[in-house]
Amino acid sequence: MTSKRVLSGIQPTGNLHLGNYLGAIKNFVTMQNDYECFYMLADLHAITVSVNPDELRENILNTAATFLACGLDEKKNIIFCQSQVQAHSELSWILNCIARVGWLNRMTQFKEKAGSNKEKASVGLYTYPILMAADILIYQATHVPVGEDQKQHLELCRDIATKFNNDYKSDFFTIPEPIIPKSVARIMSLRDGTKKMSKSEESDLSRINLTDSKDQIMQKVKKAKTDSEPINERILALDTKRYEAQNLIKIYASLNSESPEKIIKNFDGKSFSDFKNSLAELLVEKISPISDKIKEYKNDKEQLIKILKNGNEQASNTANKTIIEVKKIVGLI
Ligand code: ADP
Ligand code: TRP
């Protein structure tokens, strides 16, 4: 086994947005040069809520196209579909028997996603973090790049791996480390700086999709909520209530790979209307080439299917080795 191995995944549930890009995919791209990387379309996670099969099929290919358009190289990484590597589901069952109900009951994402009607949520939505642990552990991943909202799931994965190792008196599973970008761990909605930018948010004005046109980007930035104060260093103070202002500064900084402090210095004393013009230009410069490439990749579905098929085979080779070992350790003959 190599010493540094990365696994991460994104659910193919719709168009990916700036939060997914800055919080996760940008890191995937950086890591491809230094690590052996497995990047997965988490399609089994996508069916924990009801989805239309035709839409799911379409979204799987869209998300694969987005990975490639953002700069993930299929020759350097293993890009694959979770549902096509059976060992994920097999390990998930075994880990279901390791994880404790009390641990799952603490998961905040389930509480948020299930909302007030928990009894009607699927069992899959509840056990979702266990499948996620299986995704990671089946590759013995050492590092997992994710946005901050997945941190709790990563901690659960570490607890499951540790309990397995203790229960079976082995050091079989590698305990993975999360990689969470500091300043952009959570990109917020353009309409409400207290909510995260999300595919599931109703208003499309709340997010920049990676498929947005130049005009859409310009319009969304123009309409983004801000406040009437000029730009100054207080924006970053911990006790600030200027959530929207803070978010826009962080987006600019992250797109330009600079610190928020530096951006504030450059725009010190300027109004948000001036800043928004520069931000819109920067977003168009960074996002438009991605959106053009997504279109190109989507036009060649056969090529996308071929890339995934190849990735599925390679991922299966590694995953199958782990599940054989796990079964032996557990006593499944
Ligand atoms: P969504 O919440 O929009 O459905 P996913 O749950 O599929 O997105 O998230 C895919 C990846 O993108 C995860 O690593 C997640 O942490 C990251 N991510 C999602 N939304 C954001 C955000 N607003 N800011 C930073 N990272 C995000
Ligand atoms: N749960 C993650 C999300 O919604 C997606 C995911 C599934 C994942 N399996 C994973 C992320 C394994 C990292 C590692 O964003």
Distance CA 232, CA 247 (A): 14
Is the distance from the beta carbon of residue 91 to the nearest atom of ligand 2 less than 6 Å? no
Nearest CA to ligand 2 atom 14: 8
The CATH number for 209's domain is 1.10.240.10
Share of the chain above pLDDT 70, in %: 99
Backbone angles phi, psi at 292, to 5 degrees: -65, -40
Mean pLDDT of 38-59: 97
158 and 269 share one domain: no
Query: Does the pLDDT of residue 1 top 60, yes or no?
Result: no
What is the distance in A from the centroid of ligand 2 to the CA of 158?
Answer: 14
142 and 273 share one domain: no
* pLDDT given at position 186: 86
The CATH number for 138's domain is 3.40.50.620
Tokens 């979204």, residue located? 59
pTM of the full structure: 0.93
pLDDT band of 18, cuts 50, 70, 90? very high
Mean pLDDT of 108-116: 92
Residue 75 catalytic? no
Among candidate residues 199, 293, 298, 321, the one labeled active-site is 199
54 and 129 share one domain: yes
321 and 212 share one domain: no
| Domain count for the chain | 2
* pLDDT given at position 87: 98
196 belongs to a structural domain:
no
Mean pLDDT of 222-234: 92
* pLDDT given at position 39: 98
Residue 199 catalytic? yes
What is the distance in A from the centroid of ligand 1 to the CA of 148?
Answer: 8
Mean pLDDT of 130-159: 97
Backbone angles phi, psi at 7, to 5 degrees: -130, 130
229 and 97 share one domain: no
229 and 152 share one domain: no
Nearest CA to ligand 1 atom 11: 20
Distance CA 130, CA 142 (A): 17
67 and 179 share one domain: yes
148 and 291 share one domain: no
Residues of 273-298 as b/e, b for ≥16 C-beta within 10 angstroms? eebbeebbebbbebbeebbebbeebb
Query: Does the pLDDT of residue 242 top 50, yes or no?
Result: yes
Mean pLDDT of 104-120: 93
Among candidate residues 26, 111, 113, 328, the one labeled active-site is 113
Question: For the CA atoms of 130, 176, 318, 308, what is the dihedral angle to 10 degrees?
Answer: 70
Burial of residue 185 (CB within 10 Å: 0-12, 13-18, 19+) is middle
Query: Does the pLDDT of residue 129 top 80, yes or no?
Result: yes
What is the distance in A from the centroid of ligand 1 to the CA of 20?
Answer: 5
56 and 151 share one domain: yes
Nearest CA to ligand 1 atom 10: 10
Nearest CA to ligand 2 atom 6: 9
Q: Which domain holds residue 267?
A: 204-296
Chain-centroid distance, C-alpha 232 = 31
Distance CA 2, CA 144 (A): 15
Is the distance from the beta carbon of residue 7 to the nearest atom of ligand 2 less than 6 Å? yes
Is the distance from the beta carbon of residue 135 to the nearest atom of ligand 2 less than 6 Å? yes
274 belongs to a structural domain:
yes
Backbone angles phi, psi at 299, to 5 degrees: -75, -15
* pLDDT given at position 85: 98
41 and 147 share one domain: yes
Query: Per residue in 90-105, pLDDT tens?
Result: 999 999 999 999 999 9
pLDDT band of 309, cuts 50, 70, 90? very high
Least confident span in 1-5, 95-99, 124-128, 300-304: 1-5
Distance CA 323, CA 326 (A): 5
* pLDDT given at position 15: 87
What is the distance in A from the centroid of ligand 2 to the CA of 42?
Answer: 7
Distance CA 2, CA 34 (A): 11
